Amino acid sequence: MKILITTYGTLGDVLPYVALGKGLLHAGHQVIVGTSDRFKDFVEDHGLTFGHMDDGLLAIIDTDQGKAMLENTTNIFDAFKQNIKLGKQIKPLQTAQLLETWELAKSVKPDFLLYHPKTGAAPHIAEKLGIGCALVTPIPMLVPTSEWPFPVLPRVKLGGWYNRLSYTIIAGLSGIFLGKYIKKIRHDIGLKPMAKFDLLKNGDGQAIPVLNIVSEAVLSRPADWPANAYMTGYCFLQREKDWAPSADLQDFLNAGSPPVYVGFGSMAGCDPEQLTRTVVEALQGAGVRGIIATGWGGMKCDDLPDSILGIDSAPHDWLFPRVAAVVHHGGAGTTAAGLRSGKPSVILPFFGDQPFWGHLVHSVGAGTKPIPRKKLTADKLAAAIKEAVSNPDFHKRAELIGKKIRQEDAVGNAVTVIEKILKDV
C-alpha cells in the first residue's frame, strides 16, 4: 500500500517517523514522509520519498522571540500564553501548514495516513480522501488514563480522578486553540463541520487508532486504555554502517576515562553562551571529562579546556554507550536514546513534555532528579553529574532498562499494528 506519514517539528519529531517509514518500506509498502523542507535530505538519504511542507512554523524557534518562548514556557498555561503572544505570526503559518498537508495528500493519493500530533489536519484529510489513518506519537499524552496526568500538567498526587480530569482540561483548551484551525481546514476542503472537536476522533465520531512509540521497559501500558491504543516501543533509526567518528572524537575518547555527554538539541535558549559557561563550570566542578554537542541550539564551544571536547553531533547509539552519563534536555528522542544506552541521565527540562520525561527517568531509577532549566546553576549541575557518575544503583538500573529496550523490535511491532489496522479499514 501507499502510506503517507506526516510529521513536523525538530529532528526528534522526524527521526522516529523515518525509522517507521523504513520499516514499512522493508515490509513492501510505498512510503512518503511529509515534513519540513529542512529535513528533505535526511528523509531521502534513508531511501524514502520526501513530501514538501514549509519551514515557516519551525523557523519561529530560530528567532529571538521563539527562543524566549521556549525559555519562558514551564507549563501548558505558559504555552498557551506564548501562543497568544505570537498569534499574529503563528496563525497564517499554522493555516498554511494545514493546507500544505492537504495539497501533499492530494498529490500523493495515499491508501493510508500516519501522522504526528503536530499535523492535526491528517484525520480530516483522510476523511476527505476516504482512507484510514492512525495517530503515531512519541509522547503518551493524548489517550486519557487514571495512571498519570497529562504529561505537561503538574504532577499533583490527587489520584486517578485528577489524572483523568487533566486530559479533559487539555481537550477543552485544545478545542479553543486548535479547533478553529480544524474548522477552517474542514471548510476549505469541503467537509461538513464537526459536531464537536476531538483530537482522538475523526469527523464521523469514530475513534482513531493511536500508536504510542514508547517502551514498556520504561512505562507500562495503562490498564484503562482502550483496545485501539497501542504501546509499540521506541522507534530508533539504525546508524549508517559506514559512519565513523572524527579523529578528534576518537582520540578524546581514547585519552582517558569515559566522559559525560552534554547536549540540548535545539534548546539552548536565549543565551547559549551563558548555558555553555554553566555546563563547563559544572563539568569541571564535578571533576569529570566532558563532550559538549552544540546541536541545532548552538551552544558555543569556541574556547574549551582540554578536559572538554566540543562536537557538532554524533549518532547517539554510537556515542552514548561510550560515555559515563548523559546530560540533556529531556526531549522524547534523546531520553529514549539515553535509556537504550544503559547510561544514567541528568535531565534539565526546558518546556513541554520534557519535565515528564525527567520525572519518569528519575522514578524508574535511571537518572538523577531533574533540574528545571530556569533553576539551573553550575553547582546544582555539578552535584547531579557527580551523583549520576558515582551512584551504582543508577548504573545498575539504567543498564537493566537499556538491555530490555535493546532487545525490543519496536519498528517491527509498529509495522505489525499498522498492518492489522490496514486489514480492518
- Look at residue 65 and tell me whether its pLDDT is greater than 70: no
* pLDDT per residue as tens digits for the range 134-148: 999 999 989 999 998
Write down the pLDDT at residue 296: 65
- Alpha carbon distance 411, 20 (integer Å): 6
Please provide the average confidence, as pLDDT, over all residues in the chain: 88
Provide the pLDDT confidence category of residue 237 given band limits of 50, 70 and 90: very high
pTM of structure: 0.90
Provide the pLDDT confidence category of residue 170 given band limits of 50, 70 and 90: confident
* pLDDT per residue as tens digits for the range 316-360: 999 999 999 999 999 999 999 999 999 999 999 988 889 999 999
Provide the pLDDT confidence category of residue 84 given band limits of 50, 70 and 90: low
- When pLDDT is averaged across residues 9-38 and rounded to a whole number, the result is 94
Write down the pLDDT at residue 68: 54
- When pLDDT is averaged across residues 104-124 and rounded to a whole number, the result is 94
Q: Map grid coordinates 548552538 to a residue.
A: 298
Provide the pLDDT confidence category of residue 285 given band limits of 50, 70 and 90: very high
CA distances from 222 to 141, 144, 332, 359, 420 (A): 12, 9, 19, 18, 21
- Look at residue 188 and tell me whether its pLDDT is greater than 80: yes
Identity (one letter) of the amino acid at 320?
F
**Parallel, antiparallel, or unpaired: how do β-strands 290-293 and 345-347 relate?**
unpaired
What the chain holds in terms of domains, given with CATH numbers, is: 2-234+409-424 (3.40.50.2000), 247-406 (3.40.50.2000)
Identity (one letter) of the amino acid at 218?
V
Write down the pLDDT at residue 324: 98
DSSP annotation of 325? E
- Look at residue 44 and tell me whether its pLDDT is greater than 80: yes
Write down the pLDDT at residue 72: 52
Write down the pLDDT at residue 347: 97
* Phi and psi, residue 325, nearest 5°: -160, 165
- Look at residue 368 and tell me whether its pLDDT is greater than 90: yes
Write down the pLDDT at residue 153: 75
- Alpha carbon distance 266, 286 (integer Å): 25
